[in-house]
Amino acid sequence: MFGLMQDWPLLMHKVLDHAAIQHPGREIISRSVEGPFHHTNYHDVRLRALRVSQRLQRDGIKLGDRIATLAWNTWRHVEAWYGITGIGALYHTVNPRLFPDQIAWILNHAGSRVLMLDLTFIPLIQQLAPKLEHIERFIILTDGAHLPETGLRNAVAYEDWLAEADGDFAWASFDERTAAGLCYTSGTTGDPKGVVYSHRSNILHALACNQVDCLGLGVADRVMPVVPMFHANGWSLPISAPMAGATLILPGAKLDGASVHEIITLARVNFSAAVPTVWMMLLQHMEATNTRIDTLKRVVIGGSACPAPITQTYQEKYGVRVIHAWGMTEMSPVGTTYQRKPEISGLDAEAALALQAKQGCPPFTVEMKITDDEGRDLPWNGEVFGRLKVRGPAIARNYFRHEDEAVLDEDGFFDTGDVATIDANGFMEVTDRSKDVIKSGGEWISSIALENAAVGYPGVAEAAVVAMHDPKWDERPLMILVMKPGAAAPDLAAMNTFLADKVAKWWLPDDLVVVDEIPHTATGKILKTKLRETFKDHRPKG
Ligand code: ADP
């Protein structure tokens, strides 16, 4: 027997309809790529998104077609997402920070028919255009007055293109499992992989994010995603903010400390989200200029582990609550956040901070477990670490154009590639990525734990730990350091004395090298594949 409730498909446009009906005047404030601040609201953005749908349809775009965006966070990008999905096409966000060849590869693999791009990216795309096999038209996200001569195929200014539609249009209707978005992982191992979100997964994920112990947005919030919409679905904020009726503030192309500070102050942002680097840059700016951010009350920090000193400074000096979050492109992306469970009340300040450094607990819709290499469940005691696996309605089950390759285990769990512990209260802590963990004598050593401890050594700017081959133990840790300008580098003995009370004795590195620079990925993570390649023949002296 089925329930007797209405069949109301979970479609992206329902979110924008709700925002426009219930919160029509709620603002969307953007720093435009052209320069000045731009103000609009949910009512107007909905009308323009309908015109995007209408205009795309007139260009022959159909259900299932991919429309790529190479764009900063602005109102136009938000309209594009809803306009594209409004006729059942997919927004395909492209990360401009990838290598140009990788961008071309991704656009070709996706088969995107249209590319919407910001003015910033015209030179990049002029260089790549001859290689882009499927793009029929380039829409530059600006008006006619700002459009330069580009030489790109069928190039048109977005505003001119949009003006050709009157908005007398209705959203298309289709199954809620229809694909809505496509985002490629950064491909640090092999070719990038396409993750395909559905309307249903996007809506369920945004509802999950809006639970009070997850991101928990509300009508009174003034939300600024600094995290770009091209990075893992913009952490759901372009969907969860309108769903909640929150004011949306979009920082455009300027993401340096001074610009982020300026927009927080001018637009009275009280909630924001970004990777740790952004929050470090803002701290440096405030310390250098002796300024504050008094409107800001909550920040989500994720994408990489958030170091405890950052959390402590924001919370104690600036009164901003830090929500440490973990997730990945394949998870739409939010997987866990720090939750103030009653079980942890009464912790002293130091213990509470240590707990916040963990990656946290999943919201409803995310299930997780840790297993050994054979797939056997491991205990939740905060000490044993294993492969972290996840399951839920907004988690990938296959990759685009690789639908035949199974990626889930027999119980339907997805292996995140992270290695983690889970404690008795359900708090997960990432100890490594599985390909980075050091397997010494059959036991695992966490490279992240060694790196986090090593950066506490005076004068160390950055630390990376990779495995080097060892005939007896199979692998042993090699520590690679970058020193701050003018600082004296420690030798192995000095470092190991420093680390002795911080990690297990058998974890201590067997060798240490100092370099000028450690390579990073396009999303700011240490590029361990490159380090392993560079140091593949490295053996400890003597
Ligand atoms: P990529 O950078 O590989 O394209 P994602 O942006 O999807 O992919 O990153 C996902 C990975 O980032 C996770 O599997 C995890 O290793 C890392 N990550 C994300 N958030 C955190 C966090 N808060 N702490 C530690 N690692 C994190």
pLDDT over 80 at 361, yes or no = yes
**Rounded-to-integer distance, Cα 320 and Cα 312, Å:** 10
Query: What pLDDT does residue 89 have?
Result: 98
Q: What stretch of H or E contains 474?
A: strand 474-483
Q: Mean pLDDT in the chain? A: 95
3-state secondary structure string across 230-255: CCHHHHHHHHHHHHHCCEEEECECCC
452 touches ligand 1 (CB under 6 Å): no
Tell me the one-letter amino acid at 305. A
Q: How many residues does the chain have?
A: 542
**Rounded-to-integer distance, Cα 195 and Cα 186, Å:** 11
Backbone angles phi, psi at 456, to 5 degrees: -80, -15
Beta bridge pairs of residue 157: 140
3-state secondary structure string across 136-156: CEEEECCCHHHCCCCCCCCCE
pLDDT tens, position by position, 133-147: 999 999 999 999 999
pLDDT tens, position by position, 105-135: 999 999 999 999 999 999 999 999 999 999 9
Query: What pLDDT does residue 325 have?
Result: 97
Query: What pLDDT does residue 542 have?
Result: 59
Q: Would strands 438-440 and 443-445 be described as parallel, antiparallel, or unpaired?
A: antiparallel
Considering the chain, what percentage of its residues have pLDDT values greater than 90? 85
Q: What stretch of H or E contains 513?
A: strand 511-514
40 touches ligand 1 (CB under 6 Å): no
pLDDT tens, position by position, 279-321: 988 999 999 999 999 999 999 999 888 888 889 999 999 999 9
Give me the mean pLDDT over the 462-481 stretch: 92
Q: Return the best residue to mutate from 235, 278, 328, 526 for the ligand 1 pocket (most ligand atoms within 8 A of CB).
A: 328
**Rounded-to-integer distance, Cα 481 and Cα 462, Å:** 6
> What are the tokens at 371?
């297993």
Which strands form 27-31's sheet, in the order they lie side by side? 37-41, 27-31, 247-250, 222-225, 271-274, 298-302, 321-327, 334-337
CATH class of 16-31+39-253: alpha beta
Considering the chain, what percentage of its residues have pLDDT values greater than 70? 99
418 touches ligand 1 (CB under 6 Å): yes
**Rounded-to-integer distance, Cα 231 and Cα 255, Å:** 14
pLDDT over 90 at 74, yes or no = yes
Residue 335 Cα to ligand 1 middle (Å): 10
Nearest-atom number in ligand 1 for the CA of 301 is 23
CB–CB of 367/390 below 8 Å? yes
**Domain boundaries, given as residue ranges, for the chain:** 16-31+39-253, 367-433, 438-534
CATH class of 438-534: alpha beta
Query: What pLDDT does residue 461 have?
Result: 87
304 touches ligand 1 (CB under 6 Å): yes
Give me the mean pLDDT over the 325-348 stretch: 96
43 touches ligand 1 (CB under 6 Å): no
pLDDT over 90 at 277, yes or no = no
Indicate the SS3 state at residue 187.
Answer: coil
- Residue burial 107-120, b: 16+ Cβ < 10 Å; e: rest: bebbbbbbbbbbbe
**Rounded-to-integer distance, Cα 464 and Cα 185, Å:** 22
Query: What pLDDT does residue 526 have?
Result: 86
Residue 380 Cα to ligand 1 middle (Å): 21
Tell me the one-letter amino acid at 478. L
Residue 49 Cα to ligand 1 middle (Å): 31
> What are the tokens at 482?
């970058």
pLDDT tens, position by position, 366-377: 999 999 989 999
Task: List active site positions.
Answer: 185, 330, 439, 444
Q: Return the best residue to mutate from 98, 197, 304 for the ligand 1 pocket (most ligand atoms within 8 A of CB).
A: 304
Phi-psi region of 440 (alpha: psi -120 to 50; beta: other; left: phi over 0): beta
334 touches ligand 1 (CB under 6 Å): no
Backbone angles phi, psi at 109, to 5 degrees: -60, -40
- The CATH number for 367-433, chosen from 1.10.40.50, 3.40.50.720, 2.40.110.10, 2.30.38.10, is 2.30.38.10
CB–CB of 504/511 below 8 Å? no
Which residue's alpha carbon is at the smallest distance from atom 9 of ligand 1?
A: 328
> What are the tokens at 120?
């910033």
Q: Would the pTM count as exceeding 0.85?
A: yes
